[in-house]
Amino acid sequence: MDFKEKVAESYRQIQDEICSGLERADGLGKFEEEHWEREGGGGGRTRIIQNGNVIERGGVNFSAVYGKLPEVVMKSFSAEEDDFIATGVSIVIHPINPWVPIIHMNIRYFELNEKLRWFGGGIDVTPHYIVENDAKFFHQYLKNVCDQSSPDFYPEFKAWADRYFYIKHREETRGIGGIFYDRLNPQKTQLTFDEIFKFSEDVGNAFVPIYSELINRNKHKEYTDQQKSWQYLRRGRYVEFNLVYDAGTKFGLETNGRVESILMSLPPTANWQYNFKPELGTEEERTISLLKQGIDWIS
């Protein structure tokens, strides 16, 4: 088994474990699976969970695709060669209760003409209402995961997430960030490819304990219709980020990925309200005031 097969095999297993963990945390919803093949090469298995106790809709996708990169993507990589393989796990969960945050995770491995190779990924959380204690727990957990591989990772990847998950036209972050990393290779990290691979597995394995905790802390909180409406507005912002800025969505659509698997990140329902501004002193206004880059959530 060569390196890319080893990665794919491990990622498949991570998908399995995450799906089991999410079903346990939800207590009702069950994943449904769809296998698909990509015309240019490869395919994946998409798993969707809907109408659970906690989860309104979520997807946990595994894919391993290969082929020729379209020119527009090559340009964005500044690459001159176009044989690629990409394998990864992608997750987005939209919960029912607005006190439970939206979560996103991705781990991926990429090869270009068997010469350029790298890992990318990250986890980030988008609360409809920011609970500072939860944000602290989340970031501390990520820091512990990162510190096992390198003391540089958390500060670097936390700042990268702040830059990446940013809705420029709204001048707000998508949520409380997390970690984001890309193009990790030995030259960049002083780690071997095996060690970077291990780091990406650690990120994948962090998903279930992190999200189970965030679910358990918040799933029993009561909420009003007005708070549900606010959730729909925040989901509107999530749609804006994913369709206007998200590189993974763009890459997927431009490489003729499976549309339904890529766009499972979009919420079941989203609202837009013209010129909505929450009243001063409300929880909604407080949340918006915290959608800023550079906040240290841990200390």
Q: So which residues are the catalytic ones?
A: 104
Is there binding between residue 35 and a copy of itself (CB under 8 A)?
no
SS3 142: helix
Handedness of CA 62, 253, 112, 193 (dihedral sign): negative
CA–CA dist 289, 216 (Å, integer): 26
Give yes or no for residue 34 binding a copy of itself (CB under 8 A). yes
Contact 49, 61 (CB under 8 A): no
- Asked if residue 88 lies in contact with residue 113, where contact means CB atoms within 8 angstroms, the answer is no
Applying CB under 8 A, does 271 fall inside the site for a copy of itself?
yes
The minimum distance between CB 132 and a copy of itself, in angstroms, equals 28
Work out how close the CB of 254 gets to a copy of itself at its nearest, in angstroms, rounded to a whole number: 9
CB 48 within 8 A of CB 57: yes
CB nearer a copy of itself, residue 148 or residue 269: 269
Q: How far is the CB of 263 from a copy of itself (least distance, A)?
A: 7
**55 scored as a contact of a copy of itself (CB under 8 A):** no
Of positions 29, 95, 101, 267, contacts a copy of itself by CB under 8 A: 267
Q: How many CB atoms lie within 10 A of CB 73?
A: 16
Binder among 4, 31, 42, 57 for a copy of itself (CB under 8 A): 57
Q: Which region, left, alpha or beta, applies to residue 62 given φ > 0 means left and ψ of -120 to 50 means alpha?
A: beta
Examine residue 232 and tell whether it contacts a copy of itself (CB under 8 A).
yes
What residues form DSSP beta bridges with 92? 59, 104
Rule CB under 8 A: choose which of 16, 81, 240, 283 binds a copy of itself: 240
- Kindly state the DSSP code that residue 264 receives in the 8-state scheme: G
User: Judged by CB, which is closer to a copy of itself: 28, or 259?
Assistant: 259
Which residues would be at the binding site for a copy of itself (CB under 8 A)?
34, 48, 50, 57, 59, 168-170, 232, 236, 239-240, 243-244, 253, 259-260, 262-264, 266-275
